[in-house]
Structure 1
């Protein structure tokens, strides 16, 4: 009892309150529902700053892991890259944006989401946001001119959209795919049949949302997510069987969408953009051509989050960005792959078991991001850093109770993860050369 009271005194409940409101502001966006052409008040930014202020002054246990150092490194690389490319003023503003939409969300979600109940609260925001987005998309589809109840129209006349950065149906689809593991987790955690039934319907709703957003990248990510789940839970042979059975189904579904063909104009355009990303990297291999400068060198965006970072922030920026994601996923992987016999006593605690399942959930959400990000330029999208922060938060809780997890950040492990960055760069280069 005393320990619980001490933890409550060390944690900023007001900071979490503002972070919760921030989550509502950026995902549900109620302040923008009456859409006009006038730029809306950046309510989310103000709420995030308020949460940060209370975090600084009232949060006793402050989190600052390797990921924060890496994101701080990216933050510093951005203006340096701008300076090198004759765009220092723009580089400074881009660095500020990165601080507000990437570094700060990671830091605050990692620090202020310090219990499974707070994780659940944020997941419920994701649930409501998904429902609102889907309802808005259906209103667009049912409208004569494709305009939803917010005043936002369908993309290219067919694809559902939402407000803010969700105006792009690809971002909407990415969010839906990343939340499928979350809905499975909430269904598993439900204590009554009605909640289990509701979250089962939510899984179906997200699949409908992906269909209505008509994103090929999201469909590929959905298939990849299924394969990854099979691999981790059923092994290689069952995954291979699942692949053989499901590929014809995926091909049929994809034919209902837009076809994926290397001779297709859209696909060949993306491959050319990938090639241009390599050329930009060659022109400035260390710190790139500058954040948000890709489209100044090529007519299309990179259509690949990995190549976008390589082109815009060079090898240093990419290594720091990649390390942030890879280390977080390694932490989650180790958290849900604990040795049962060695940790039998610890795993007997229901709260620990719940956090282990939570770690597995967030791992698959990040897997969904990686699949989708391979076809989309979403290196800086805010909800990536929200999910990364949520992931680090649950790992920190588990690491405080399980000594085995404290070895995850051993020097040899960090070195191997960091060395994976140049390896992925080489693989991306070879892929582009083969496709060309």
Structure 2
């Protein structure tokens, strides 16, 4: 848990940067890994099954192979170094989160980290404290005249010439990444209200934190965040309404999200005709060309910008362009297993149970992340791998709480059946490739 705290809040990087030369995060990672290995055998190596580690290790080999065949030995260190952080976070989470209580503590810790970062960024926005690190100014429109004397606090700027976008630190230093992480943890606020307290007490507990997260999200001015919020919100609502009502809400929510994009995104209205969207479509098209030229291993991990002047701005495109169909299939396979694991928990648990409630909230978080990821190059960020590991852990703890009996019910048998992924993954590969092609053709018509 200390490693997760340091990974997200970055206390050394923020407050004692002179210690970064000593590699404190790496030291903490090694210490955590050694202690975890010491205790892992006691819990049969944790929540993950062999197929999870095969997928994780296989993707690591693909990353190394794609890097080697496209850049030689000199590039292997960079590829392995960047992939090792999310991969080891997945492994450490699976080996440590082996009870429902540990799952809840992990979720609450992640939520705490993001809320602390929200408060920090809001403080910088309103006071000017570390504004150069926590806020990014962008031109509100072309040919705008920026005043020479801007206030120290971005919140005090009334010129309208700049859009001040809140961000955070570390791998959340991009406003879109920060928005994505806020969307991920926001459903977990309902875990705080899931107790024996009265409804008024639960609302008073959750509402201020939700307002804080929502206000910060608004100040990121993330357009992809609008869609991610709508998607995560709909899946949270899905937990409490009937399927027929959910379909109606899905239609209404989609319309509302489309109508609100311009307003919530500030002056950064979303349109496939604007320059940034056009450049994004060009990057997706070049990503498909990279896949056609190197279908098995791609152009090499981290090499997308060697073939295009900007990044893909799509995690799916980035994955198949850099690691080919081999890496893309394994990456999607990990996501498919996570979602199917959560669906299994929901289907096989009593309605309203803790495990069902947690699974529904985590599914909403993953959906929100993936919707944002459609517009961001975040294939290998730690956030995704933490979410995938938590899904594996939740299925494990649910099975542990409901072991097989000599005469199990059909529901119990289904709960303990292996989670099959390969056929669904092949379908997902085909569907996403077609979807990218449709986006490109529609935008260029």
State whether TM-score is above 0.5.
yes
Contact 2:231 2:364 in 1 (8 A): no
The equivalent residue for 1:265 is 275
The equivalent residue for 2:62 is 77
Contact 1:187 1:200 in 2 (8 A): no
5 Å-filtered alignment, 1:16-95, equals 20-34=1-15, 42-59=23-40, 60-61=42-43, 62-63=45-46, 64-65=48-49, 66-95=51-80
Contact 1:287 1:316 in 2 (8 A): yes
Contact 1:28 1:128 in 2 (8 A): no
Kindly report the root-mean-square deviation, in angstroms, between the aligned alpha carbons of the 2 structures: 2.5
Contact 1:184 1:203 in 2 (8 A): no
Measured at CA, do residues 166 and 371 of structure 1 come closer, stay the same or move farther in structure 2, by a change above 3 Å? Answer: same
1:147 and 2:137 correspond: no
SS in 1 for 2:368: helix
Contact 1:306 1:374 in 2 (8 A): yes
Measure, in 1, the Cα distance between the counterparts of 2:206 and 2:21: 32
Any gaps of 5 or more consecutive residues in structure 2? 139-163, 403-411
**2:94 aligned residue (81, 106, 110):** 110
SS in 2 for 1:288: coil
SS in 1 for 2:193: helix
**2:170 aligned residue (164, 169, 174):** 164
* C-alpha deviation, 1:232, in angstroms: 5.7
The equivalent residue for 1:325 is 335
The equivalent residue for 1:227 is 234
1:367 and 2:370 correspond: no
1:207 and 2:217 correspond: no
SS in 2 for 1:380: coil
Contact 1:110 1:389 in 2 (8 A): yes
Contact 1:79 1:88 in 2 (8 A): no
Any gaps of 5 or more consecutive residues in structure 1? 1-19, 341-346
5 Å-filtered alignment, 1:281-430, equals 281-338=291-348, 353-400=353-400, 401=402, 402-409=412-419, 413-430=420-437
Contact 2:184 2:366 in 1 (8 A): yes
Measured at CA, do residues 32 and 191 of structure 1 come closer, stay the same or move farther in structure 2, by a change above 3 Å? Answer: farther
* C-alpha deviation, 1:102, in angstroms: 2.0
Measured at CA, do residues 113 and 87 of structure 1 come closer, stay the same or move farther in structure 2, by a change above 3 Å? Answer: same
The equivalent residue for 1:274 is 284
The equivalent residue for 1:11 is none
Give the alignment's TM-score, normalised by structure 2: 0.83
* C-alpha deviation, 1:90, in angstroms: 1.3
Contact 2:59 2:331 in 1 (8 A): yes
1:198 and 2:208 correspond: no
1:187 and 2:193 correspond: yes
Note the alpha carbon deviations across 1:83-125, whole angstroms, 9 max, x for none: 21133321343123312x1221111111201222222222232
Measure, in 2, the Cα distance between the counterparts of 1:425 and 1:218: 20
Measure, in 1, the Cα distance between the counterparts of 2:244 and 2:391: 30
SS in 2 for 1:188: coil
Measure, in 1, the Cα distance between the counterparts of 2:5 and 2:218: 24
Measured at CA, do residues 306 and 189 of structure 1 come closer, stay the same or move farther in structure 2, by a change above 3 Å? Answer: farther
Equivalent pairs, count: 400
Measured at CA, do residues 83 and 29 of structure 1 come closer, stay the same or move farther in structure 2, by a change above 3 Å? Answer: closer
SS in 2 for 1:357: helix
Measured at CA, do residues 281 and 190 of structure 1 come closer, stay the same or move farther in structure 2, by a change above 3 Å? Answer: farther
SS in 2 for 1:134: helix
The equivalent residue for 2:117 is 133
Measure, in 1, the Cα distance between the counterparts of 2:202 and 2:240: 25
Measure, in 1, the Cα distance between the counterparts of 2:248 and 2:441: 31
Measure, in 1, the Cα distance between the counterparts of 2:372 and 2:16: 28
* C-alpha deviation, 1:389, in angstroms: 1.2
Of stretches 168-177 and 418-427 in structure 1, the one that deviates more from structure 2 is 418-427
5 Å-filtered alignment, 1:234-245, equals 234-235=241-242, 237-243=244-250, 245=252
Note the alpha carbon deviations across 1:241-287, whole angstroms, 9 max, x for none: 33454456434532222211111111111111100110111111100
Measure, in 2, the Cα distance between the counterparts of 1:43 and 1:96: 16
Contact 2:121 2:134 in 1 (8 A): no
Give the alignment's TM-score, normalised by structure 1: 0.84
The equivalent residue for 2:405 is none
Measure, in 2, the Cα distance between the counterparts of 1:50 and 1:141: 36
The equivalent residue for 2:107 is 123
Contact 2:234 2:249 in 1 (8 A): yes
Note the alpha carbon deviations across 1:330-379, whole angstroms, 9 max, x for none: 01111111275xxxxxx8xx9xx322322222111111111111111100
